């Protein structure tokens, strides 16, 4: 597979959590094209499973889609932050749970057709319940859902957030291989 050579780059927007860049590229066949690239510093998503086999999730209104979504706890990486540290921080902030055991399950690109965002996936177990401290611009409802009901929620499209779907599928595959 041939790589695309970047001829030029122009920043259209630079914000707090993302930047938009317009690249002009040369294709392997000699033609040129433009690529709109969303630069993002990366994120974490956590699949917290309590001692009773429940997944701790959050309901959150998402303005971009004008809907309340059911999601795994997640958040952006601070500059230079270790993903494992970010995962523990986000879990505590959004749900109030402190993690005892945090296991990295891998990661994935959110939308590599236009975005550089890479999301690190973690499984959190040995949880201790506490008080959530979401950021001042977040309104979250913490929900506890039996892991056994997740396949039905996925089949019914009751979970529409891609990072949550990917994380839950990975956890379900892991639980099948561990049994």
As annotated, the active-site residues are 136
In sequence order, which residues have a C-beta less than 8 Å from that of residue 155 and are 6 or more positions away? none
Which residues, in sequence order, are bridge partners of residue 62?
A: 67
Q: Report the run of H or E that residue 178 belongs to, with start and end.
A: helix 162-178
Q: Report the run of H or E that residue 122 belongs to, with start and end.
A: strand 118-125
Tokens linked to 54: 């429940």
Return the residue matching tokens 């993690």: 99
Bridging pattern class, strands 74-76 and 101-109? unpaired
Q: Cα 86–90–92 angle (5° rounding)?
A: 120
């Amino acid at each position: 597979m041939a790589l695309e050579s970047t001829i030029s780059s122009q920043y259209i927007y630079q914000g707090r959590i993302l930047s938009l860049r317009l690249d002009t590229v040369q294709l392997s066949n000699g033609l040129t094209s433009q690529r709109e690239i969303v630069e993002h510093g990366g994120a974490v998503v956590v699949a917290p499973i309590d001692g009773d086999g429940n997944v701790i999730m959050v309901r959150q209104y998402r303005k971009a889609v004008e809907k309340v979504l059911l999601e795994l706890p997640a958040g952006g990486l601070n500059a230079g932050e270790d993903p494992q540290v970010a995962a523990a921080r986000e879990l505590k902030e959004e749900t109030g749970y402190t993690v005892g055991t945090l296991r990295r399950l891998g990661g994935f690109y959110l939308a590599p057709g236009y975005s550089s965002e890479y999301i690190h996936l973690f499984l959190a177990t040995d949880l201790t319940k506490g008080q959530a401290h979401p950021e001042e611009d977040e309104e979250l409802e913490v929900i506890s859902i039996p892991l056994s009901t997740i396949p039905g929620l996925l089949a019914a499209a009751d979970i529409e957030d891609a990072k949550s779907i990917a994380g839950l599928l990975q956890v379900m595959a892991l639980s099948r291989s561990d049994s």
